[in-house]
Amino acid sequence: MNYLELISHVLPEIAVLVTALVLIGMGCAGGSRGGGKAVLAVTAAGLGLALAAVVFGPESGRLLEGMIVVDALTRLFKAVLLALTLGTALFLFPGGEAGGNEGRGAENSALLLLALLGLLVVVGTENLLLLFVGLELASLALYLMVVFAAPAGRPAEAALRYFFFGSVAAAFLLFGFSFIYGATGSIDLRVIAKVLAAHPVEPILPLGVGLALVGFGFKVAAVPFHLWAPDVYQSAPAPAAGFIASASKVAGFFIVAKVLVLGFGVVEGSADWGAFAMGWAPLVAVLAALSMVVGNLAALAQQSVRRLLAYSGIGHSGFILTALVAANAEAVRAVLFYSVIYGVASLAAFGVAGCVLRARGADRLEDFAGLGRTAPAAAGVLALALLSLAGLPPLVGFFGKFQLFAAALSGGTPGTVPGLLWLVALALLMSAVSLYYYLRVLKQVFFAPAPADAAPTRDTSAGTAVCLVCGSVLVLLGLFPSLVLQPLQRALVQLF
Amino acid sequence: MVDFFFYLFSAFTLACGLLVVLSRNPVNAAVFLILTLLGVASLFVMLQAYLLAAVQVLVYAGAVVVLFLFIIMLLDVPESARKRFKPAVALAAGLSGLVLILGVGLLVSGAETAGPEAPAAGVGADLKAYGEYLFTSYLLPLQVTGFLLLIAMIGVILLSRKPSAAADKEPAEAKTR
């Protein structure tokens, strides 16, 4: 390996990093005072360059013992993360009147890009050490984005809670990784898989995997490691919450699936009804079941729409983990596919919620009343996003959920009752519950009269454009899911 | 002999760790933390990881805890009154602790300890080898860690800056929990 080869493989990361440094420089020079247009242009240009570097860069490679891995799957997900970040960046700049970001847009954008850098590193590695450092890079930037440009009071409290939870989760993750290293003698996922296949399982390994699961559970907001999520989603600036719910979650599920299936596929165990076997599958099944029940039931009682979205996100973590329990190629495909469409739908939902928040000053259910008449475009996108999350056809959410549950049921011998039927039955039940609270929001949006003194809900063209793009993606993918599924399938064939 | 010292230093480390948690005076807790770290350093010495031991003493006991002490003294943290745990919390904590201990005990008991070979000895002992690893195989994590520190720096600067008038624009929300 020479350095030129190394650089060519991390060109997207370098593009993002250089852009972030340029933005920090602009912040120091006071360049963001002019309404943030220059900042937005620089951010978009940097993300565009990074996307070009992903698309036209090397197609495959594995450097430094798996620290840098480039294959079809990582390239696909890097592109997805870049696109979601571009959407978030457009939300960050609500045009002329900045929502509390005045004069700080450059730093805010720089933090967003540094968080993205962490996620890109995480997605493009099969090395536990780099995985951990990348996750920390992303987390640290996210803590700051939550508290950044927010008024005094609750956001700081939410950020502090996020920070404490995150630090403890990181400690668990690091503990777990060091036990895994102790048990297998390697931090390279592929080597770990080989060692596990060849040697009897070390007693310390289950401990390591369990501790690592705690850290991952925090990252994807699975119950019982979810307590930070509602406060953070509610108190953070809407774009930051959108980023945490979209790009950060996509990357989270990507690494959970990759680490568990690629590295620890041998010690999966079984969560089948009546045939429990120790391994990570029963633990993930418990996380999934708890997340579905707690997330969806708690969402019923919420008055704040962003809090509702947070609990619905927790519930969705449960749905996604349900498929992961099956741990075959089909399941991984379903998990990755659903995490992407969940990311797109959440970004759109948080975008609309942020625009209502700016116009009416709060995001209680009543504040959404009459949105269908005052801002039909935003209301339409919100409807698409929520119905997709609820899993109604013809939106892509239906197809994604169908895939998840089909994958969970696909394991086992044909002709017998699938072992994961209990989990899928629970998921279907909770899916029905979730429809109720999504429709509660939509009832306010379309059927409640707007308050007489309601300020007109106006968003900038950039934000509306992102919302519309997200909405059309949800419809388009619902009609033609193979647009994403086929590349994903091809990429996974290379992996397995 | 080695066993004896291992148990001695382990007991010392554990005792000091307990005292960190139990001390009511924060300064005492910080000083016990130094002793805990020294105990860990002596365990490293017994594993012949002299470099790691030295780093442990210099960086953790030397720099990090001294920083703690500075902050404690600057903020003048008062001696905390002993808080009673709520019974439910105490019960939950006790139960989870018990489950953890039992679980680890079950896992470790009766286990063979013939795992894969430990990595080549001497990595943690030799400064030269350590440096070489750091700047060749582990160059990338090192770089990423550098940017981690950059974010921390930006964060401190941004958070300690005086809030501008613009920061008050986003309205406070009604507490809806």
pLDDT at A95: 47
Residue whose token pair is 């719910």: A245
Could A134 and B144 be called an inter-chain contact, meaning their C-beta atoms sit closer than 8 Å?
yes
Q: Is the pLDDT of residue B163 over 60?
A: no
Could A104 and B170 be called an inter-chain contact, meaning their C-beta atoms sit closer than 8 Å?
no
Q: Do B74 and B130 have their domain in common? A: no
Q: Count of domains in chain B? A: 2
Q: Which residues of B touch A140 (CB under 8 A)?
A: 148, 151-152, 155
Could B169 and A100 be called an inter-chain contact, meaning their C-beta atoms sit closer than 8 Å?
yes
* Identity of the residue in B103, B116, B151 whose CB atom sits nearest the CB atom of A185: B116
Distance from CA of B177 to the nearest CA of A (A): 7
Distance from CA of A452 to the nearest CA of B (A): 20
Residue that terminates a domain, selected from B79, B107, B135: B79
Distance from CA of A158 to the nearest CA of B (A): 13
Q: Which residues of B touch A303 (CB under 8 A)?
A: 176
pLDDT at A456: 62
Distance from CA of A110 to the nearest CA of B (A): 9
Q: Is residue B100 part of a domain?
A: no
Could A100 and B141 be called an inter-chain contact, meaning their C-beta atoms sit closer than 8 Å?
no
Q: Is residue B72 part of a domain?
A: yes
Could B173 and A148 be called an inter-chain contact, meaning their C-beta atoms sit closer than 8 Å?
no
Residue that terminates a domain, selected from B47, B62, B79: B79
Task: Kindly indicate the confidence band of residue B168, based on its pLDDT and cuts at 50, 70 and 90.
Answer: very low
Domain that holds residue A327: 3-495
Per-residue pLDDT of chain A (496 residues; tens, 9 = 90+): 578 888 889 999 999 999 999 998 888 887 555 557 788 889 999 999 999 999 998 888 888 888 899 999 999 999 999 999 999 888 876 543 444 445 567 888 899 999 999 999 999 999 999 999 999 999 999 999 888 766 555 667 888 889 999 999 999 999 999 999 988 888 999 999 999 888 887 778 888 898 999 999 999 999 889 999 999 998 888 888 999 999 999 999 999 999 999 888 888 777 777 777 778 888 999 999 999 999 999 999 999 999 999 999 999 999 999 999 888 888 999 999 999 999 999 999 998 888 888 777 778 888 888 888 888 888 899 999 999 999 888 889 999 999 999 988 886 666 667 778 889 999 999 999 999 999 999 998 898 887 766 666 666 667 778 888 888 998 898 889 888 888 888 888 877 7
* CB B130, CB B123: distance < 8 Å: yes
d(CA A205, CA B154): 38
d(CA A245, CA A350): 9
Q: Count of domains in chain A? A: 1
Residue whose token pair is 């609750």: A154
> Considering only CA atoms, which of A171, A172, A202, A170 is closest in space to residue A186?
A202
DSSP letter string over A109-134? Answer: HHHHHHHHHHHHHHHT--BHHHHHHH
CA angle B160, B21, B5 (to 5 degrees): 120
pLDDT at A289: 94
Q: Do B16 and B75 have their domain in common? A: yes
d(CA B7, CA B42): 11
Residue that terminates a domain, selected from B21, B54, B79: B79
Q: Is residue B104 part of a domain?
A: no
What CATH number should be reported for the domain holding residue B69?
Answer: 1.20.120.1200
Angstrom CA distances, B36 to A175, B17, B41, stand at 18, 6, 9
Q: Is A57 helix (H, G, I), strand (E, B) or coil?
A: coil
Q: What is the pLDDT of residues B41-58, one digit of tens each?
A: 999 888 888 888 898 899
CB A320: neighbour CB atoms within 10 A?
A: 28
Angstrom CA distances, B147 to A12, A19, A109, A183, stand at 16, 14, 16, 30
Q: Which residues of A touch B172 (CB under 8 A)?
A: 151, 153-154
d(CA A63, CA B168): 48
CA angle B158, A231, A130 (to 5 degrees): 60
Could A234 and B173 be called an inter-chain contact, meaning their C-beta atoms sit closer than 8 Å?
yes
Look at the alpha carbons of A393, A394, A397, A402 in this order and tell me if their dihedral is positive or negative. positive
Q: Do B131 and B60 have their domain in common? A: no
Q: Is residue B170 part of a domain?
A: yes
d(CA B35, CA B15): 10
Shortest CA distance from B171: residue in chain A: A361
Residue whose token pair is 């440094």: A21
Residue whose token pair is 């805890």: B65
Size of interface A-B (CB pairs under 8 A): 125
Q: Is residue B54 part of a domain?
A: yes
pLDDT at A412: 62
DSSP letter string over B114-157? Answer: --SPPPPTTTTT-HHHHHHHHHTTTHHHHHHHHHHHHHHHHHHH
d(CA A234, CA A255): 26
Q: Do B75 and B141 have their domain in common? A: no
pLDDT at B113: 54
The predicted complex's ipTM stands at 0.84
* Identity of the residue in B155, B158, B168 whose CB atom sits nearest the CB atom of A151: B168
Q: Which residues of A touch B107 (CB under 8 A)?
A: 203-204, 206-207
Angstrom CA distances, A326 to A45, A193, A213, A251, A263, stand at 41, 18, 16, 20, 15
Residue whose token pair is 């593009």: A15
Angstrom CA distances, A268 to A137, A373, B101, stand at 29, 52, 23
d(CA A323, CA A332): 8
> Considering only CA atoms, which of A380, A375, A412, A416 is closest in space to residue A395?
A380
Domain that holds residue B144: 126-177
CB A134: neighbour CB atoms within 10 A?
A: 27
Q: Is residue B107 part of a domain?
A: no
Q: Is A304 helix (H, G, I), strand (E, B) or coil?
A: strand
Task: Kindly indicate the confidence band of residue B173, based on its pLDDT and cuts at 50, 70 and 90.
Answer: very low
Q: Do B2 and B74 have their domain in common? A: yes
Q: Which residues of B touch A143 (CB under 8 A)?
A: 155
* CB B78, CB B27: distance < 8 Å: no
